[in-house]
Structure 1
Amino acid sequence: MSSVPPQRFALLVGVDLYLNDGSRRRPDGNTVSLNNLNGCVKDVKAIQDFLYQELQLDKPSILTSSPAALVENEPARPAEPPDCWPTFANIKSKFDAVYDGAKPGDLFYFHFSGHGAELQPIDGSSGSSRREPSLLTADFCCGEPALRGWQLNQWLRRLSDKQVHVVVTIDSCYSGGAWRHGDHARTPIGWTTVLNLPADIEAVKGTEMRSFLRDGDLEKSWSINPDRLTVMTACESHEQASDRTVDDQPGGAFTHALLGHLKQQPAASSRTYRVIRDHVENQVSRQNPRVFGRDRLLFLGTDEPFSATPLVGRIEEGKVHLPIGRIHGVQQGSEFTCPSTGKVFAVSTVDKFQCSATVSPETIKVLREYKCQVFPFRWNFGEEKLQVLVDLRLASVFSTTLRGYLEDRIASGIEVVQQGVSDNSNDSTCTVLRLEHQGDNGINIFGPASLIGYEGPIRGLDIYGNNTKLVNASAAALAQLARFKQILDLRSQTCKEMESFDSTIEPDNPTATSPFSDHQTFNFTFRNTGQARLYFTVVVLGPGFHVKQLYPDRDSPETLHTNEKQSFIFRIIIPDKLQGDKSANKVLIHRDIIRTIVTRNQPLSWRSWELPAIWNAMQIEHDRSSEPRDATLEKNSFACWIKDEEILIRSM
């Protein structure tokens, strides 16, 4: 008997016409009104067409309010029947129906286009002047509730707890913690304080209001989302989402760019949420789309591919400018490529946060054609040379071939010598790695304990085969170790200024001591003790020489204002490849480095650091097409701190 395939549900909401019967008033007694919009219903219809044509999802739930022909002496009403209006009651009813009908493994997609605004907190116990970013429903001015951001999060969390995969796109102002104004944005004109009504209080009864929601910042709500939730928002918490007109048809700039990328990039590897976000950011102005949650998943899917990190450059006066610099491990001479064309160029100027290269007119033409999308090609490690000592039992042709394979991966100094000829182990400007012949056609790799984390051969590597396989696998592993060391050494780039934050990592069991047991859980706490806004990201440098962002589970960093605190729990699990032979009853110690990167006043992306486990080093893709982020850095009052903490885990 075959299993039932997962279902896909969708609820699409677009509010162009806002009803008003005068029920809502400002503190001065004046009536609250909302200007109508012109592109939200079009957004919904465009998404509906895409879901049908591209994903064969033919029965989404639709709630829209299109202006109907005006009737004399009658208030404006939507053209749709009342049960299809985007009211709070109808939206909640649709959510409840999805919850009742969905089963574990199903997928639910929710889209909202319309006004967003910041409202007063529901209860006065919040202890904060911060307001609650909310989605304004069609009947809000008739005294009916808005959909509060934290409340929407709880509805989504309820579905996720049922093991339903949830995807949300919000095209409104303040959607990253916020929500459109005037003719070109979706924030109400002249928005001021709006008094809460009994209907607002009634609407949140029975909805859990946890302490992390009390500041009313939707961004914080999205940031703590569960494993099966991904939220894409049109802008940051302090920004407005713009409209745009294409072929005389109005619509949301975010929705237009989102669908444009999905239609132009049929390849699945170009449809991860982080790639989509980067493309959308390059297509819209004065707003920065955000992704919260599982940004590495494929759009409306559950797969998470690993690939090399793409970058998008900026071309000015014959130069290509890339948004990464020394803080990311870029050195003069590092090379980048546009893999679809084979064009390779080396950067000539590198500062702390960006780099640039002078390229030929032909290369500029090609880069423009491919939207200046490039990938790292060969890392340069500056003055630090890589020396590889090769076992005498491996033929000299092996060393010669290995050097060629390494030169394909590394742009800086390389020395491959037979053991006993030269050893620069005590040279601080040289990274020394050693290859030993192992058994029948096998190789072990050794390195300094400061890099490897232990004495002995690299664990988890199975390098066997003919000469070609040995050389190729060895070169991939050696190049990864060299890049891992470079990333490890970047802690020296930390700001010398006194830290304006506190961070702690503690085991959840106070009696646990290092080295900890496998599957140990830890509590991480971060507090902003300074006066400026801080952005922090937590990255793990694992025992498999992999580098992956641990928190938040999205490309962008976590944002904390003065005196704000954020905590999360994480678990360290030893990869199966490193478990060893348990029958040997031998304790192995594995090192995880938990790196906290903090920047002041400006967020940075750290995904160019990411590496797969060393046993997968040959599986990095360099040929996917995507639209990555194009960041510009405001250097005024900028600072960057890097803080590492080692955690040792034992296995038998």
Structure 2
Amino acid sequence: MENGKKRMALLVGCNYPNTQYSLHGCINDVVSMQELLMERLGFDKSSIELLVDEGPWSKALPTGVNIKNALNKMIDETEEGDVLFFHYSGHGTLVPSKHHLNKKEEAIVPCDFNLITDVDFRQLVNGLPKGASFTILSDSCHSGGLIDKEKEQIGPNTLSPTSQLSNNLGPKHSKPKKIPIESMLNHLASLTNMVESEIGEHLTTLFGDDASLRFCLPELDQDKLFGPHRPDSGILLSGCQTNETSADMPPMGSNGKAHGAFTYAVQSVFKAQQGPLSNREVVMLSREVLEQEGLEGQHPCLYCSDENADAPFLMWDDAQSKIDL
């Protein structure tokens, strides 16, 4: 805590063990991110909560309800000037829009498949008190735009046309952190026994009011809930553009551990830089790291207000610890 302001974090890692969707580096990602937060970014261990689906690090599974409850608890405890951080490493997916032909919406995939969508993150950001900040770092596929209606600062519409190239994961044996919508539907249908139903019908049948607001509320009610777009304190650093995948990398390098490519890139940036870094600098330097690692088709993005684009990442400054990782 600095100047009476709280710094709170929720770190979620889903490896989906013993399933056809298994990943290998997501829990490693959040464990190493916890170290970065404590050693370089001014967070106390007691203010960091981990939710993972294997290993000794958490007391609860990262289900959709558990993740949303933990995020809402963090928001409820937030006061003016507090700094909140949510790191997610796991699968992402794209959900077809019910009302817009050919449009798809971003979502993360908790371990129980109870999707958390861009609308849910928009609701969380709207619940912040004035002067607080909420930074999301999502190391998942299709994560660009994961906060609904947040302004794009770095992404396919703000950079050169080369950033819109189709995805190429690069190094062999890497795995995309995505579950295609067809696979989602097949899995959910096996649980609901509902044939030819939309994904929202499956999820509301399984989870009721605990399903995403995108499926529980009509679109007009969603618009009324959020009101007109306005500058806010939501900050999204996405592992890739909406149309791209983020890589789960096999054990390699000096640490010999599987890891998410974007999480590794962010941590590499902080190892190389001793001074404060803006949100914009973290994303642009992470792009350079991924390109050097051979992942030329994965482009991290930044979504936030103009002011927050150049604000220090997690409000880190020279007064805070400069301990090397």
Q: How high is the TM-score relative to the length of structure 1?
A: 0.36
**Residue identity matched to 1:138:** C
Distance in 2 separating the partners of 1:56 and 1:36: 33
The correspondence for 1:291, drawn from 295, 299, 302, is: 302
The correspondence for 1:39, drawn from 12, 25, 33, is: 25
Sort the Cα spacing of 1:55 and 1:163 in 2 relative to 1 into closer, same or farther, 3 A: same
Distance in 2 separating the partners of 1:289 and 1:186: 14
Say yes or no: does 1:239 pair with 2:244.
yes
Report the Cα offset of residue 157 of structure 1.
Answer: 2.4
SS at match of 1:35: coil
The correspondence for 1:139, drawn from 104, 112, 129, is: 112
Sort the Cα spacing of 1:89 and 1:152 in 2 relative to 1 into closer, same or farther, 3 A: same
Sort the Cα spacing of 1:205 and 1:255 in 2 relative to 1 into closer, same or farther, 3 A: closer
Query: Which residue matches 2:314?
Result: 300
Distance in 2 separating the partners of 1:132 and 1:279: 27
The correspondence for 2:121, drawn from 152, 158, 162, is: 152
Sort the Cα spacing of 1:301 and 1:115 in 2 relative to 1 into closer, same or farther, 3 A: same
Distance in 2 separating the partners of 1:212 and 1:276: 36
Report the Cα offset of residue 162 of structure 1.
Answer: 4.6
Distance in 1 separating the partners of 2:103 and 2:25: 30
Say yes or no: does 1:275 pair with 2:243.
no
Distance in 1 separating the partners of 2:130 and 2:81: 9
Report the Cα offset of residue 228 of structure 1.
Answer: 1.8
Say yes or no: does 1:174 pair with 2:171.
no
Q: Deviations over 1:244-277 (max 9, x none)?
A: 3433311011110101111221112xx1111111
Distance in 2 separating the partners of 1:275 and 1:254: 14
The correspondence for 1:114, drawn from 90, 103, 126, is: 90
Distance in 1 separating the partners of 2:221 and 2:287: 28
SS at match of 1:61: strand
Q: Is the 8 A contact 2:83 2:134 kept in 1?
A: yes
Query: Which residue matches 2:161?
Result: none
Residue segments in structure 1 that go unaligned for 5+ positions in a row: 20-32, 67-78, 215-220, 304-652
Report the Cα offset of residue 280 of structure 1.
Answer: 0.8
Sort the Cα spacing of 1:204 and 1:187 in 2 relative to 1 into closer, same or farther, 3 A: closer
Q: Which structure dedicates a bigger proportion of its chain to strand?
A: 1
Q: Is the 8 A contact 1:35 1:189 kept in 2?
A: no
Q: Is the 8 A contact 2:42 2:316 kept in 1?
A: no
Sort the Cα spacing of 1:150 and 1:249 in 2 relative to 1 into closer, same or farther, 3 A: same
Sort the Cα spacing of 1:241 and 1:93 in 2 relative to 1 into closer, same or farther, 3 A: same
Say yes or no: does 1:61 pair with 2:29.
no
Query: Which residue matches 2:266?
Result: 258
Distance in 2 separating the partners of 1:228 and 1:56: 19
Report the Cα offset of residue 212 of structure 1.
Answer: 11
**Residue identity matched to 1:243:** D
Query: Which residue matches 1:84?
Result: 60
SS at match of 1:44: helix
What is the aligned-residue identity percentage?
23
Distance in 2 separating the partners of 1:133 and 1:199: 20
Sort the Cα spacing of 1:190 and 1:89 in 2 relative to 1 into closer, same or farther, 3 A: closer
- Residues 239-388 of structure 1 correspond to what in structure 2 (within 5 A)? 239-244=244-249, 245-247=251-253, 248-268=256-276, 271-284=277-290, 285=295, 286-293=297-304, 294-301=308-315
**Residue identity matched to 2:109:** L
Report the Cα offset of residue 132 of structure 1.
Answer: 2.3
Sort the Cα spacing of 1:35 and 1:261 in 2 relative to 1 into closer, same or farther, 3 A: same
Q: Deviations over 1:444-489 (max 9, x none)?
A: xxxxxxxxxxxxxxxxxxxxxxxxxxxxxxxxxxxxxxxxxxxxxx
**Residue identity matched to 1:185:** P
**Residue identity matched to 1:89:** V
Residue segments in structure 2 that go unaligned for 5+ positions in a row: 147-166, 186-198, 318-325
Q: Is the 8 A contact 1:17 1:65 kept in 2?
A: yes
Distance in 2 separating the partners of 1:205 and 1:190: 18
The correspondence for 1:94, drawn from 53, 62, 70, is: 70
Sort the Cα spacing of 1:186 and 1:53 in 2 relative to 1 into closer, same or farther, 3 A: same
Q: Deviations over 1:124-146 (max 9, x none)?
A: 4x243423221000111xxxx21
**Residue identity matched to 2:137:** T
Q: Is the 8 A contact 1:172 1:234 kept in 2?
A: yes
Q: Is the 8 A contact 1:64 1:84 kept in 2?
A: yes
Report the Cα offset of residue 34 of structure 1.
Answer: 4.8
Q: Is the 8 A contact 1:105 1:163 kept in 2?
A: yes
**What's the RMSD between the two structures over aligned residues?**
3.1
Q: Is the 8 A contact 1:34 1:189 kept in 2?
A: no
Report the Cα offset of residue 199 of structure 1.
Answer: 3.7
Number of equivalenced pairs:
257
Say yes or no: does 1:49 pair with 2:50.
no
Q: Is the 8 A contact 1:119 1:131 kept in 2?
A: yes
Sort the Cα spacing of 1:89 and 1:136 in 2 relative to 1 into closer, same or farther, 3 A: same
**Residue identity matched to 2:136:** V
Q: How high is the TM-score relative to the length of structure 2?
A: 0.70
Report the Cα offset of residue 191 of structure 1.
Answer: 4.2
SS at match of 1:46: helix
Q: Which structure dedicates a bigger proportion of its chain to helix?
A: 2
**Residue identity matched to 1:279:** L
**Residue identity matched to 2:38:** Y
Q: Deviations over 1:367-423 (max 9, x none)?
A: xxxxxxxxxxxxxxxxxxxxxxxxxxxxxxxxxxxxxxxxxxxxxxxxxxxxxxxxx
Q: Is the 8 A contact 2:14 2:26 kept in 1?
A: yes
**Residue identity matched to 2:40:** E
Distance in 1 separating the partners of 2:38 and 2:275: 18
Sort the Cα spacing of 1:166 and 1:131 in 2 relative to 1 into closer, same or farther, 3 A: same
Query: Which residue matches 1:17?
Result: 16
Distance in 2 separating the partners of 1:39 and 1:164: 31
Bigger CA radius of gyration: 1
Q: Deviations over 1:576-625 (max 9, x none)?
A: xxxxxxxxxxxxxxxxxxxxxxxxxxxxxxxxxxxxxxxxxxxxxxxxxx
**Residue identity matched to 1:132:** E
Report the Cα offset of residue 63 of structure 1.
Answer: 0.4
- Residues 209-248 of structure 1 correspond to what in structure 2 (within 5 A)? 226-244=231-249, 245-247=251-253, 248=256
**Residue identity matched to 2:108:** L
- Residues 438-453 of structure 1 correspond to what in structure 2 (within 5 A)? none
Distance in 2 separating the partners of 1:211 and 1:289: 31
- Residues 398-437 of structure 1 correspond to what in structure 2 (within 5 A)? none
Q: Deviations over 1:535-558 (max 9, x none)?
A: xxxxxxxxxxxxxxxxxxxxxxxx
Distance in 1 separating the partners of 2:39 and 2:234: 24
